[in-house]
Amino acid sequence: MVMMKVGFVGMRHMLTIVFLSGFAGFMEGPVIIDVTVAAVCSSPDDSCSLTVYLTGFQQVAIGLGTMVMMPVIGILSDRYGTKAVLTLPMCLSILPPVILGYRRDTHFFYMFYIIKILTSLVCEGAVDCLASAYVAENIQGRTRISAFSILAGVKTMSSLFGTFVARFLPVALIFKVSAISFLVAMVYMRIFLKERLNNDENGDHQQDDRDSNDVTMLAEPMLNNTTITTSSVLNKKQSSLKDMMILMKTSTIFVQALVVTFFSSFSDSGMQSAFLYFLKSRFGFDKNQFADLMLLITIVGSISQLFVLPRFASAIGERKLLSAGVFMEFTNMAVVSISWAPWVPYLTTLFVPGAMLVMPSVCGIASRQVGPGEQGKVQGCISGGKSFGKVVAPFVFSPLTALFLSNNAPFYFPGFSLLCISLSSMIGFLQSLMIKDVPPSQLNKEINSTSREEA
């Protein structure tokens, strides 16, 4: 119990970093659509197809980069520490908002667009990935899913405050404040963040071993009861790609979690490509209405993550939470796709808590498949799966959204792309139902057998 309290209290520095970086990033959300349209389209009131394609290409380019970089960043954090690896992404994150804070005409927008893509190859998702690995290393056993929920809740709270500030600040000031927030987060991280909250790693392993026998949770760490030698399967000197392949061979649960992650990210990325443009084209939403909707979404999400989910997560278990979350994602997108009035998207925020359940549950499931020393690899792989979904989605949904929001649509259904997005969430839901609780003895037997063969 004392160790648990030390872990949660010690997380405050990482939570502060996540909040500041998330606040800076989410400030740009409500205004970036209007900035893009004003810089690219002939009329400020025109939602031309080029903006949709530019957004889609940006998602693809960033997704391809992060799909490769996130596992690498996770591996580097295992070897060199979180602070050293986080410094570069947090420094690079400052550049894009500085450009738009200076000027937002067409030339400067395209400069921002290119630099944003290049820097996001390293920056996008780096804080979230390493924060998840940090939590998994320092919070053990039954409380880990609650810690992931609190981490996600703080990220959602940063979205709430960032969107709220963006609602009232002028556009030029929004990007300046965003750049300053990124800078403060980087300096704070270098000064206050500790690599480990508790140096007694053996105690952590033992605590995790005891708690992983609980039948409401999934499998215990993969490396338990495995002889550690110089030819150990997950020896850091071996190929990291081989490590991940061995992990996938020995843990069906991890592979299933990756599949759910892909379809959830695929759907989320599709929503990013389609949702705001759908609202702008269908109901004429502007910056203020985008901000109001995002505020409502983040308020509902933060309450569920910070106050509701941590109370029930350990008792319910990650698997049930994951299935419930993905199903609520499906329902949300299906209802939005047939929106008949501007108030319908506001009503669907009732399903927001479901979307907030998915990634904390996936991170909890994945983190229990390895010991504390390999959390960077696992969380990096999960982040890579998310990035892969972001890469694929724009190829499908950007052309589909542009087509059905144009005058050349084969039939009138502006929300058709959103309906297709909801169907992809249903695939993820069906996969989540296939994840089963594995008895620890059976898992260890399979792992030890594979370990001896590979060694």
Whether residue 219 has pLDDT greater than 60? no
Determine contact, residues 195/81, Cβ cutoff 8 Å: yes
pTM of the model: 0.68
Whether residue 221 has pLDDT greater than 60? no
Rg (CA), the chain: 22
The pLDDT of residue 372: 66
Q: How far apart are CA 448 and CA 443, in angstroms?
A: 9
Whether residue 132 has pLDDT greater than 90? no
Whether residue 451 has pLDDT greater than 50? no
Whether residue 213 has pLDDT greater than 50? no
Residue of 58, 43, 68 whose CA lies nearest to 398: 58
Worst-scoring range by mean pLDDT, 27-36, 267-276, 367-376, 417-426?
367-376
Kindly report the number of other CB atoms within 10 A of residue 205's CB atom: 17
- In the numeric block, the tokens 């030890």 are attached to 448
Q: How far apart are CA 334 and CA 41, in angstroms?
A: 30
For 54-69, give the DSSP string.
HHHHHHHHHHHHHHHH
Query: How is residue 190 written in tokens?
Result: 């270098």
The arithmetic mean of pLDDT across residues 92-116, rounded, is 90
Q: How far apart are CA 448 and CA 454, in angstroms?
A: 10
Worst-scoring range by mean pLDDT, 159-163, 172-176, 277-281, 448-452?
448-452
Whether residue 108 has pLDDT greater than 70? yes
Q: How far apart are CA 115 and CA 100, in angstroms?
A: 11
Whether residue 167 has pLDDT greater than 60? yes
- In the numeric block, the tokens 């505020």 are attached to 295
Kindly report the number of other CB atoms within 10 A of residue 437's CB atom: 14
pLDDT digits 0-9 by tens, 312-327:
666 677 778 888 888 8
The larger pLDDT score, comparing residue 446 to residue 38, is at 38
Whether residue 288 has pLDDT greater than 80? no
End-to-end Cα spacing for the chain? 38
- What percent of the chain has pLDDT above 90? 7
Give residue 161's pLDDT band: very low, low, confident or very high (50, 70, 90). Answer: confident
* Residue 273 vs residues 115, 186, 260, 392, 397: alpha-carbon distances, Å: 20, 29, 20, 12, 7
Q: How far apart are CA 275 and CA 397, in angstroms?
A: 10
DSSP code, position 307: I
Worst-scoring range by mean pLDDT, 61-65, 115-119, 374-378, 436-440?
436-440
The larger pLDDT score, comparing residue 329 to residue 229, is at 329
Determine contact, residues 429/326, Cβ cutoff 8 Å: yes
Give residue 182's pLDDT band: very low, low, confident or very high (50, 70, 90). Answer: very high
The larger pLDDT score, comparing residue 233 to residue 139, is at 139
Q: Would you say the C-alpha torsion 302, 308, 314, 315 has a positive or negative sign?
A: negative
Worst-scoring range by mean pLDDT, 120-129, 234-243, 300-309?
234-243
Residue 434 φ then ψ, to 5° = -85, -10
Q: How far apart are CA 377 and CA 77, in angstroms?
A: 9
The pLDDT of residue 57: 82
The pLDDT of residue 94: 92
Whether residue 450 has pLDDT greater than 80? no
The arithmetic mean of pLDDT across residues 351-372, rounded, is 76
Give residue 386's region: left, alpha or beta (phi > 0; psi -120 to 50). alpha
Whether residue 225 has pLDDT greater than 60? no
Determine contact, residues 377/78, Cβ cutoff 8 Å: yes
- Give the Cα-Cα-Cα angle 382, 358, 188 (nearest 5 degrees): 65
Q: How far apart are CA 37 and CA 70, in angstroms?
A: 31
Whether residue 257 has pLDDT greater than 50? yes
Query: How is residue 125 written in tokens?
Result: 């998702």
The arithmetic mean of pLDDT across residues 134-151, rounded, is 76
Q: How far apart are CA 126 and CA 91, in angstroms?
A: 12
Q: Is 427 exposed, middle or buried (0-12, 13-18, 19+ CB in 10 A)?
A: middle
Give residue 382's pLDDT band: very low, low, confident or very high (50, 70, 90). Answer: confident
The pLDDT of residue 6: 45
Q: Would you say the C-alpha torsion 221, 222, 225, 226 has a positive or negative sign?
A: negative
Q: How far apart are CA 75 and CA 85, in angstroms?
A: 10
Determine contact, residues 108/171, Cβ cutoff 8 Å: no
Whether residue 68 has pLDDT greater than 60? yes
Q: How far apart are CA 31 and CA 280, in angstroms?
A: 13
Give residue 342's pLDDT band: very low, low, confident or very high (50, 70, 90). Answer: confident
Whether residue 236 has pLDDT greater than 60? no
Residue 238 φ then ψ, to 5° = -80, 170
Residues, the chain: 455
Whether residue 18 has pLDDT greater than 70? yes
The pLDDT of residue 241: 58
Q: How far apart are CA 179 and CA 171, in angstroms?
A: 13
The pLDDT of residue 43: 62
The arithmetic mean of pLDDT across residues 339-355, rounded, is 78
Determine contact, residues 448/230, Cβ cutoff 8 Å: no
- What percent of the chain has pLDDT above 70? 76
Q: What is the mean pLDDT of the chain?
A: 75
Q: How far apart are CA 221 and CA 240, in angstroms?
A: 18
Whether residue 181 has pLDDT greater than 90? yes
Residue of 278, 286, 291, 406 whose CA lies nearest to 44: 286
Whether residue 310 has pLDDT greater than 60? yes
The larger pLDDT score, comparing residue 35 to residue 376, is at 35
The arithmetic mean of pLDDT across residues 242-264, rounded, is 77
